[in-house]
Structure 1
Amino acid sequence: MLVSKSSLRRRLQIVELVRKRGEVSVEELSQVFDVSSVTIRTDLTYLEQQRYLVRSFGKARYLSQRPGDNVLAPIADSATRKASETTIARFAAEAVDDHESLMMGAGEVVHRILPFLSDRSNLALLVQDIGMAQTAQRFLHCELQLTGGQLEQGSSTMTGPDAEASVARRSIDLCFLEASGLDREGNLLCADPALARVFQAARQAATRTIVVAYQPQLNERDGEVFANLADIDALLIDDGIDPPTMDLMPRKGLQLHRRESGILEFRQSTY
């Protein structure tokens, strides 16, 4: 059954109210939103299924959001997600000119950028993911270097002090980084602290920084900060984000430019 926009908006507001108070009764919510207690219980059932809160004895208690949860967006199947990530990557690649030095941070969306750079000439790529290096060798004729660093068991991504130092001493025209979420101060988050430290080094070394993300979640610091929205040049995401996330962008100087296929590009006014 489809849910109306007004219901989605109310549910988001319920989450915010419960988050602020910690616990709210069904009766209070019914009065605040001027709807029946039956409607509120339906809302709470949905939000509990989405792991935003738990219900107990006629009350709702807040749960911290988990990466991947989004009350406003339906859960996308793998094909839909792949299509959106590829479209984000295609638009991100448009920012790359010939003869540029690039840092490609780890992440599925960033990885998808590489094939779209096949027609660029004289690029210099620094990558921290061995899988990305293999993709670059397949699609691009370019100077290619790995950051070096530590490989965790079962991972193809290099992190640690050596990787951070390698990135910090480079001259980088443009770095692409991938966010898993952001907090209410506009800080961009990465789930892996070691990865976030490499991202921080890349952002500081680069002349320009573009962040990509698929449905980044607004949460209370569920991850490690690697940048602030005010510090980057552009953010490319799909349109499955909630109003509070949208509201953050203009406060950080990012202007919305809607792209085709439901992709949102936020750019600094000077970019």
Structure 2
Amino acid sequence: MLANKSSLKRRLQIVELVRKRGEVSVEELSQAFDVSSVTIRTDLTYLEEQRYLVRSFGKACYLAQRSGNNVVIPEVDGAARKAWETAIARFAAEAVDDHQSLMLGAGDIVHKILPFLSDRANLALLLQDIGMAQTAQRFVHCELLLTGGQLEQGATTLTGPDAEASVTRRSIDLCILEASGLDRDGNLLCADPAVARVSEAARRAAARTIVVAYQPQLGEHDGEVFGNVSDIDALLLDDGIDPETMELMQSKGLQFHRRESGILEFRKSTA
């Protein structure tokens, strides 16, 4: 479970202090926050697992940021990114049950979900990306439909008013969409405005919505809004997010669950 608010606030302050000073000892942190060294070590273990800092000989050391942004984890290569995306896709597929009407939006992570649906029975699958159709036919036993709509030259994603209307008319048990970023109000962003409009229509039409993303950057104007984290049922990410993003999720009432392979799941509270 996510730490309580006082613990989360302290941990965010620890990251900021270590960032400013480069490294800080356990004893110094214990005195600065007026808590025991055991509590500080627990905090540091959590923050190291989240890749916000590293521990070395009784000290917390800042994990250098990438130049040009606020992400506090090392740059990963293409193979590592694909592994993260596949892990996210695997956990997203767990939410799909037999006999469901499922809409899959556009995106690399969403595409990777399809092989994990090979053992599902009697799915009604609606796709926005015609590039996914061949994968779906190979792996999934289902009724397969496309949204229809416009297809720009060189693209595989269907967009436009016809695609939006097609989604709106359907009964969708679950839709899984992909975000490219978040803004500071918790809005989910898509880099392509036309894709974002179809995603918004799908989110509104579906009984449940799950959003997947790889290291979504917390920015202001990096895409078109298709929903808010408070509007969806779950958000699945890799662990390359900064403390501010973690705090944002809590402020929106989402519960935190760490899955295997370092995948982070934020769920709508059922309380």
Deviations 1:82-131, CA, capped at 9 Å, x for gaps: 00000000001010110000000000001101100000000000001111
| Partner secondary structure for residue 134 of structure 1 | helix
Q: CA deviation at 1:10?
A: 3.8
Distance 2:141 2:234 in 1: 26
Task: Determine whether 1:143 maps to 2:143.
Answer: yes
Instruction: Could you tell me which runs of 5 or more consecutive residues in structure 1 were left unpaired when the two chains were aligned.
Output: 12-42, 53-69
Using the TM superposition, give the Cα deviation of residue 9 of structure 1 relative to its aligned residue in structure 2, in angstroms.
3.7
Where structure 2 has 5 or more consecutive residues not aligned to the other structure, the ranges are 1-13, 22-61
What is the CA deviation profile of residues 181-214 of structure 1, one whole-angstrom value per residue up to 9, with x for unaligned ones?
0101000000100000000000000000000000
**Secondary structure of residue in 1 paired with 2:265:** strand
Paired residue secondary structure (1:73): coil
Letter in 2 for 1:187: N
Mapped pair 1:185 → 2:185: yes
SS at match of 1:245: helix
Matched-pair contact (CA < 8 Å) for 1:167–1:205: yes
Shift of 1:5: 6.0
Describe how 1:225-236 pairs up with structure 2 within 5 A.
Answer: 225-236=225-236
Q: Distance in 2 between matches of 1:218 and 1:10?
A: 21
For 2:72 and 2:200, the matched residues in 1 are separated by: 30
Counterparts of 1:144 and 1:79, CA distance in 2:
30
1:97 pairs with 2:97: yes
Out of 24, 47, 50, the residue aligned to residue 67 of structure 2 is 50
Q: Secondary structure at the match of 1:255?
A: strand
In the TM superposition, what whole-angstrom CA distance separates every residue of 1:139-196 from its partner, at most 9, and x where no partner exists? 0110000001111111111100010001010000000000000101000000100000
Q: Is the 8 A contact 1:8 1:72 kept in 2?
A: no
- Alpha carbons of structure 1 residues 155 and 205: separation in structure 2 relative to 1, 3 Å: same
The correspondence of residues 27-46 of structure 1 with structure 2, limited to 5 A, is: none
Structure 2: distance between partners of 1:8 and 1:191: 33
The residue aligned with 1:263 is: 263
Q: Is the 8 A contact 1:196 1:226 kept in 2?
A: yes
Shift of 1:270: 2.0
Secondary structure at 2:176 match in 1 = strand
SS of the residue 1:156 aligns to: coil
The residue aligned with 1:249 is 249
The amino acid that maps onto 2:184 is R
Q: Call closer, same or farther: CA 1:9–1:105 in 2, change over 3 Å.
A: farther
**Distance change >3 Å, CA 10–CA 108, structure 1 → 2:** farther
Tell whether the 8 Å contact from 1:189 to 1:223 is kept in structure 2 after alignment: yes
- Residues of 1 paired with 2:20 and 2:138: CA distance? 49
Give yes or no for contact 2:71–2:241 (8 Å, CA) kept in 1: no
Matched-pair contact (CA < 8 Å) for 2:175–2:210:
yes
Alpha-carbon distance, 1:50 to partner: 2.0
Question: Residue 182 of structure 1 contacts residue 219 of structure 1 at CA under 8 Å; is this kept in 2?
Answer: yes
TM-score of the pair, normalised by structure 2 = 0.76
SS state at 1:83 partner: helix
CA distance in 2, matches of 1:145, 1:245: 36
Indicate the percent of aligned positions where both proteins have the same amino acid: 75
Conserved 8 A contact 2:150-2:158:
yes
How far is the alpha carbon of 1:253 from its aligned partner? 1.3
* CA deviation map 1:46-69 (0-9, x unaligned): 87x7235xxxxxxxxxxxxxxxxx
1:169-248 matches, within 5 Å, as 169-248=169-248
Number of residue pairs aligned between Structure 1 and Structure 2: 217
